[in-house]
Amino acid sequence: MLKSKTLLIIGFVWPEPKSSAAGNRMMQIIELFLSDGYNITFASAAQNFEFSENLSAFEVSIKSIELNSSTFDDFIKKLNPAIVLFDRFMVEEQFGWRVSDSCPNALKVLDTEDLHCLRSARQLAVKENRDFVFDDLYSDVAKREIASILRCDLSLIISEFEIDLLQNQFKVSKKLLYYLPIFAEKLDKIPTFNNRKDFVYIGNFLHEPNWNAVKYLSETIFPLLHKKLPDAKMLIYGAYASQKVLELHKPNQNFYIMGRAEESFEVIKNAKVLLAPIRFGAGIKGKLLEAMQCGTPSITTSIGAEAMFGTLNWNGFIKDNPAEFVDATVHLYNNEKLWNQCKENGFEILKKRYKKELFDKKFSAQIYFLLDNLKQHRQNNFMGSILQHHLNYSTKYMSKWIEEKNKK
């Protein structure tokens, strides 16, 4: 049985729940472990950005760590965590071998956020102006990401589509994968149809699919929509807007770059419709979940809505063709009865697919099971042991060489 309820999270970045769905996701994972009585340390080699969450307020210890430095080995040996959670596969590549060397009996968990190999493959297809095909998946990114999944004892996946992809395309054992979506519930007080106006899009601009979607809105979708609804504004919110984003600000065409939203719910719940013409990406989309929470119907693409609604009705329309996207938007914007039905569809999706109570106890039980059966679990994942063995001899000595080089 578990001898120490100590969790180390190694973050790719410091969590920013008000800037990105990834930040919100990380805070939800932290809260799951806190509610189960864990002492948590969050460590990262990233710069602590201005909008990062104050983890100390949640009684989470923080630690700044260095890449390619044996100081991490000393740190983790002293901490001796029962569980180490890697935030994205790149972090596991950098620190996984050090964890295995220093704390071989620690349960290693990978939070994928979304499948990077799927997102990058779809991005390539969009760039080349063609349809995505499964052959696009077999890239160097996929080899790195799948290897990371195999080296870990459990990988957290937020999309059922990605679970199926990993099992069927890459033949990853289902015992290494765990479906854990972002949690969400509807807000208590939301404005009615007649108390709303305009369109909204929200997303962190460090995330390439968001920039692409806003550019597509500006160049293709909204010019068509503006002709049919000339008084409606398109409001774009998002942190870390670059100059190329700011140049899309065109008030004379009712297209507004609004900057970072202090409270995303406030801007989403006052809009009549959320537009998300997402052309590539992976995982589930936090902006679309937040729209459901706010009772704000959405128009999105097949990729945008992927794996989010199961067999239920979407809270708006799913359209990939620009003209159909615009027609559906106009119809929804002007039809109160339809708008209210779509709002209720969103609430139903939240209730049946994203309530925390559907997942928290089962997740805790899975973690305890793995801690109690770690030796047998790893024997069943012999391919992961092979990859771990070779990583230790390649990444390990490259990292040590870099460390020695940096001392000079």
CA distance 268 to 236: 11
Q: Could you tell me which of 123, 110, 213, 90 has the C-alpha nearest to residue 155?
A: 110
> Which H or E run includes 182?
none
Q: State the average pLDDT for the chain.
A: 94
Q: Is the pLDDT of residue 220 over 60?
A: yes
- Segment 332-372, tens digit of pLDDT: 999 999 999 999 999 999 999 999 999 999 999 999 999 99
Residue 343 in tokens: 């709002």
Q: Tell me, what's the pLDDT at 406?
A: 72
Mean pLDDT computed over 199-213? 96
Residue 236 in tokens: 């774009």
Position 27 confidence tier, pLDDT thresholds 50, 70, 90: very high
Q: DSSP label at 112?
A: -
The rounded percent of the chain whose pLDDT value lies above 90 is: 90
Position 386 confidence tier, pLDDT thresholds 50, 70, 90: confident
Mean pLDDT computed over 16-42? 95
Q: Tell me, what's the pLDDT at 1?
A: 41
CA distance 320 to 221: 11
Q: Tell me, what's the pLDDT at 393?
A: 56
Q: Tell me, what's the pLDDT at 4?
A: 81
Q: Could you tell me which of 380, 342, 25 has the C-alpha nearest to residue 174?
A: 380
Mean pLDDT computed over 276-288? 96
Superfamily in which the 6-183+357-407 domain is placed by CATH = Glycogen Phosphorylase B; (3.40.50.2000)
Q: What angle do CA 30, 34, 38 make, to 5 degrees?
A: 110
- Segment 43-84, tens digit of pLDDT: 999 987 778 999 999 999 999 999 989 999 999 999 999 999
Q: Tell me, what's the pLDDT at 19?
A: 85
Number of H-type helices and E-type strands within the chain: 17, 13
- Segment 130-167, tens digit of pLDDT: 999 999 999 999 999 999 999 999 999 999 999 999 99
Q: Tell me, what's the pLDDT at 20?
A: 87
| CATH architecture assignment, domain 193-354 | 3-Layer(aba) Sandwich (3.40)
Q: Tell me, what's the pLDDT at 3?
A: 54
Range list for CATH 3.40.50.2000 in the chain: 6-183+357-407, 193-354
For the whole prediction, is pTM greater than 0.85? yes
Q: Which residues are 256's β-sheet partners?
A: 235
- Residue 351 CB burial class (10 angstroms; 0-12, 13-18, ≥19): middle
Helix axis angle, 89-102 to 382-407, nearest 10°: 90
Q: Tell me, what's the pLDDT at 26?
A: 97
Q: Kindly write down the DSSP assignment for every residue of 333-376, as one continuous string.
A: HH-HHHHHHHHHHHHHHHHHHT-GGGTHHHHHHHHHHHHHTHHH
> Which H or E run includes 202?
strand 199-202
Q: DSSP label at 200?
A: E
CA distance 16 to 193: 31
Residue 167 in tokens: 């099992």
